[in-house]
Amino acid sequence: MSTTTSAPLASTSSLPQSSPPRLTASPSSQSQSPTIHVHYASRHVKARIDPGVPLPEIIRQLVSSSQLSISEPSTLFCLRIKESGQLLTPSNFHSLLTREVGKKNVLILGSSPEIEAIETLDKLSPTSSLPTLKLATFSLKTLIKDKEFRGEFLERRNGWETLMDVVERSSGNTLAYALNVVRDVLELDQEGGGKRKCEKEFVKRIVEIVGEHSTPAKALFPFFHSTDTLQTLSLGSQLLNHY
C-alpha cells in the first residue's frame, strides 16, 4: 500500500531517528487525520492516523516500525484508548478515532484479546501469588466489558470455571473484585438473552460469604445489591433479607 505521513514521530532518547509508520492513505488525507500518540511499554510514536486505512494495517505498521522495536507478529496486538481502556475494533475504529481518540490523542498498543485472555487465565491460576491474583481480578473488571475479550475468556477458554474457582478460594478485596466480575458477566448474559450456569458449590460459597465477618461488607455490596444477579443465582429474597 502506497502511503505517506506528514507528522514526525516522537521517540525516546534511546531510540534512533528513522522513518515513521506511514498511516495515512494519501497526502490529501493528512490534513484531516488526527495526530495520535501511540504508547508501547516505555516507548511511543507520534503519527497521523487515517480512519480510511484498515485497523489491522495500522497495527501492522506500528508493530513493524523501528521506533517501537517489536519483534512479535502484529496479530498478537491491539489498540486501546489510554484513558478508558476501550478496545478499537474494525467496527468502532472510525467513530472512536474521530470522536474519542481525537480528544486525548493517546492510544495504547498492547496484547490482543486472545493473548490477554491467555495471560489472565494464567494469572488467575492457583499457583499465582496473591498480589498477582489480586491485580488480575482487578484488571478483569475492565477487560470483561470487551465483547472480543469476553468471547475469548469465557466461551473459548472456559474462563467462567476459572472465575468460579477464584471465588471459592479467595477472600478480601480479591474476592470482591471476582464477585463483581461474576455480576457483570451474569448481567451481560441477561442483556443478551442467555443464562449462565452457576454450580451448587458456587451458590453455597455465596451464602457462606454473607456470614463471613472477615470479608468487608462494603466491598461486596455492589454484588449483593444487584437484584438481577441474585435472581440468576436463584437465591431470591432469603439472601436479600439475610444481607
Least confident of 45-49, 53-57, 103-107, 213-217: 213-217
Mean pLDDT confidence for 52-61: 91
Question: Does the pLDDT of residue 27 top 70, yes or no?
Answer: no
Least confident of 9-13, 180-184, 225-229: 9-13
Q: Which residue has the higher pLDDT, 241 or 49?
A: 49
Question: Does the pLDDT of residue 17 top 60, yes or no?
Answer: no
| Residue 147: per-residue pLDDT | 87
Phi/psi region, residue 189 (left: phi>0; alpha: psi -120 to 50; beta: rest), is alpha
Question: Does the pLDDT of residue 148 top 60, yes or no?
Answer: yes
Q: Which residue has the higher pLDDT, 33 or 42?
A: 42
pLDDT tens-digit map of 196-237: 666 666 777 776 776 665 555 555 666 655 545 555 554 443
Give strand pairing partners of 80.
87, 108
pLDDT tens-digit map of 88-147: 888 888 887 777 555 567 899 999 999 999 999 999 999 999 999 999 999 999 899 888
- Which residues are CB-contacts of 89 (< 8 A; sequence separation ≥ 6)? 55, 148
Q: Cβ(100)–Cβ(74) under 8 Å?
A: no
- Between CA 110 and CA 48 the distance in angstroms is 19
pLDDT tens-digit map of 58-98: 999 999 998 898 999 999 999 998 887 888 888 888 887 77
Question: Does the pLDDT of residue 173 top 80, yes or no?
Answer: yes
Exposure string over 38-57, b if 16+ CB within 10 A, otherwise e: bebeebbbbbbbbbebebeb
Q: Cβ(35)–Cβ(76) under 8 Å?
A: no
